[in-house]
Amino acid sequence: MKAPKVLEHIKPAHIACTKEEIAPIVVMPGDPLRAKYIAENFLSDAKLVSDTRNMFIFTGTYKGVRITVMGSGMGMPSMSIYAFELFYFFGVEKIIRVGTCGGLIPELNVPDLIVVDSAYNEGNFAYSYNGDPTHLVYPSKTLNETIKETAKELNLHTFSGTVMSTEQFGFYSDNEHVLARVPKTIKIIAEEMEAFALFHIADSFEKQASCILTVVDSKFSDEFMSQEDREKSLNESITLALESIIK
């Protein structure tokens, strides 16, 4: 199914810059301060092009390739706003989300990397967006293959599988009853809150999107990545995203 029709006079309500100030490839952490960190530490000639609602957007270059990095905020509603505007108003072609997740299988430890192969959501996000009743969505196959090959080149070990995009933060709810309702044919390896929306919206525009996650906690361990580390110590996933998206 295609993207919902937007009235011709509508302009982006949450990004305040010109189309030319956004690159066609975007790396998208959840935290806007992580976007600032990426811009300051990985990009050359980075310029803040929008800070509406403190959702920082920077455009610069990485190894000579023009690239934009911006935050998505937390949860599918926030991700859906920014992903839609980037694809629809700004002509973005590729987005890689770099985020965090909670591990749901014993094989995953802090800070393992996951290249998401599919995202499950039991709610009605897809149906509300464009009438699609699906609960399982997929990233760009081509972009995912590029990420996995790049990980090998960088000697980074990654896991792959299906993640659950929840509508609440797992620590603040009883997610076991949600997991119990997942179809037995779907094996969930981790939970996060944005990938489903990104993949579904990208697919509706026939654009590319993928997601790289860093495990910051696990149901099988008491280890928990600190707020400071979440903001500044995800360099492996950031490098993997940047190296992959410029190919």
pLDDT of residue 7: 73
| Exposure on the CB side of residue 133, measured as CA atoms within 13 A | 0
Catalytic (active site) residue 112 = no
**Phi, psi of 19, deg, nearest 5:** -60, -35
pLDDT of residue 97: 98
Is residue 81 within 8 A of residue 194, CB to CB? The reply is no
Q: Give the global pTM.
A: 0.96
pLDDT of residue 236: 94
List of domains in the chain: 19-245 (3.40.50.1580)
Give the model confidence (pLDDT) of 6-28 as tens digits.
877 788 989 999 999 999 999 99
pLDDT at 158 over 80: yes
Give the model confidence (pLDDT) of 109-120 as tens digits.
999 999 999 999
pLDDT of residue 148: 98
**Phi, psi of 149, deg, nearest 5:** -70, -40
Determine the straight-line distance between the first and last CA of the chain, rounded to whole angstroms. Answer: 28
Tally DSSP H helices, then E strands, for the chain.
8, 10
pLDDT of residue 173: 79
Residue 180 to residue 132: CA distance in whole angstroms = 23
Q: Are strands 113-120 and 136-137 parallel, antiparallel or unpaired?
A: antiparallel
